[in-house]
Every structure is written in C-alpha cells, then in structure tokens.
Amino acid sequence: MAMVARQSRGGGKPPLPPPATAARQRDDTLLFETPEELRCPITHDTFVNPVLTAGGHVYERSAIERHLAHRSTDPLTGAELPNKSLTPIYILQSRAMEYREASARACIEAASEPPPREPGAHRPIEYLRRGVELAAGTKLAIPGLPTETLEYVAAHPGNAYDELALVAFARGLFLSGLRDRAAHVYFSLLQEALCSKSDVPQAAALLAQCIGCWAGEPGKGVHVDADRHVIEKLSGLVATSGQGSGQQAALTWTQVVDLAGTAGLGDTFALRQTLTPAHSSPSLTAACVSTCSSGGGLAWPHQ
C-alpha cells in the first residue's frame, strides 16, 4: 500500500490551475499537461475512476478492465498479478475531478477571452477542445459549455471542424447568458477569417453574429440606447484587436463599417459617425448619438 500513498498523495496535491478570473496570469502548462499522478499510465488521460490492482499500481478502471479481460499481468511491469481484484481510490478520484473542473473552466474562459491575446497563448479552438476533453465523460457542469456543445465538439475532432466547433461554442455561450463571451468568440473568428483572406461575405456574417450577441440585451432598451450599447461594445474590441500575440488581424473601424454594410445590417450612418477624422479609431461622439436618436436606430441582428 506504500505505492498507493505515493500515487494518490504524492507528497501533496498537484497544483491546480488558478481561478478563471486570473486567466491572463494562468500557466497554460497546467491546463494542457495533466500532472503525472493524475494520469492513467495506460491511456495517459486524466483519471475519472482510478483503481488499484493487486500489484500495487493505479489505472483507469475501464482501461485496466480491458487489459485484464485477456491477461493476468501488470501492464507496467509485466509481472503476473496474484489476482484480478480492483480497489477504488476515492481520494485520487476526487483530486482528479478537481483538476478536471478547474482546468475545464479555465480553458472555456480562455477560449472566449476578448482581445488582445497574450503572447504565446494557444488558439481559442485549442482551449475549447482541451476543455471539452476534460469535461467529456464526467457530469461536470461547466458554465458556457452546455451538453449540446460538448457533444458536438467531442464528435467533430480535426481541423476541418474547427470553425463549426467555435460557432457551436459561441451559440452555447449565448444561450447560457454569456453574451460578451459569445461575441468575443465570433470576433476572434472574424479576425482569423481576415488573416486567412477568407471571402468578405463570411467575415460580414461573423460580424453580424458578433453584433447580434449584444442587440436586444436585457436592460439596454431600444434605438439610441441599444445602438450606443452595441457601438461601445464593438469599439472596445476593435480598439484592442491589433494588440497581443499577433495571431489575429487588427481591424479598423472603416473595415467594420464596410462589413456591416455587406452583412445587410441596414443604415450604417451612425457607425460612420463614430470615425475620427483620420478614419482610424472609434470614438463615440455627440453626432453619433444624435444620428441614432433621429433615425430610429440601426437594423441590428438578433440571435
């Protein structure tokens, strides 16, 4: 049983990721590399149901049961086991679940952060897939990761589904009431579309989805209040889009206005009034508010 103490306690708990509120100071190594004592030596995945064999080693129950169905040896040493008994290690299971939940939450928040992204940060899709990997097969309730989103992302691995997975993620965030974070995901997709020189209609559609996260937000009223609210939110993302890791394209307010027109969002005059004389950065002005007040507002899309 000495080996159990080493594997289940290991001289103290392995470090957990910091709280999600400190996402920009997180150590991504802790998110993407499960501590060794919390990993099954057969699957190399984070434990869900760790058990102890008669040989004194700990494995994921499903993995060791598959092994013992055809053999009576220890997978690590190859030595013959005295019997095939398996003993649950509840302390280790609890710590593995703590790690899964803390890391999954941090990954989901990292996947939906606003710009700028930290230098060296992973792409949003990488955080999303890691969060899904940690939450899958458990009953963890991760904010912004409803069951439908988790199942879709888990069932569609591979680069070909990256954009669809992020769109499903953004929709899940929106339905969970996390409108700002949903908008951040759409905006990130918009930046990547511009970086990869995707067609303009696709970029315009992503902008419409981004704006739709804020349009009609509870407590923001209609017309002038709604327009001001959307413009303030959008201008904040545009202003910081060129900072950070350089993985995504910087946007100008002129580009946003043009894409809004392509998306068929209606009258974009109020948006144009927020341009500075140099047409380089957004600035809410009295002219913008006056335009919104007199014209009945913009045709913002709704989710």
Residues of the chain with pLDDT under 50: 1-11, 18-24, 219-224, 245, 269, 275-300, 302
In a domain, 17, yes or no: yes
pLDDT per position as a tens digit, 180-234: 999 999 988 888 887 766 678 888 888 888 888 887 655 444 444 566 777 788 8
Q: How far apart are CA 198 and CA 200, in angstroms?
A: 6
In a domain, 26, yes or no: yes
- Kindly state whether residue 177 falls inside one of the protein's structural domains: no
Is 79 domain-assigned?
yes
Residue 122 lies in a domain: no
* CATH number where 34 lies: 3.30.40.10
The pLDDT value recorded for residue 3 is 40
Burial 114-151 (b: 16+ CB within 10 A, else e): bbbbeeebbbbbbbbbbbbbbbbebeeebebbbeebbe
Q: Is residue 164 part of a domain?
A: no
Asked if residue 251 belongs to a domain, the reply is no
Which domain range does residue 80 map to? 1-94
Domain count, the chain: 1
The answer as to whether 216 is a domain residue is no
In this prediction the pTM is 0.74
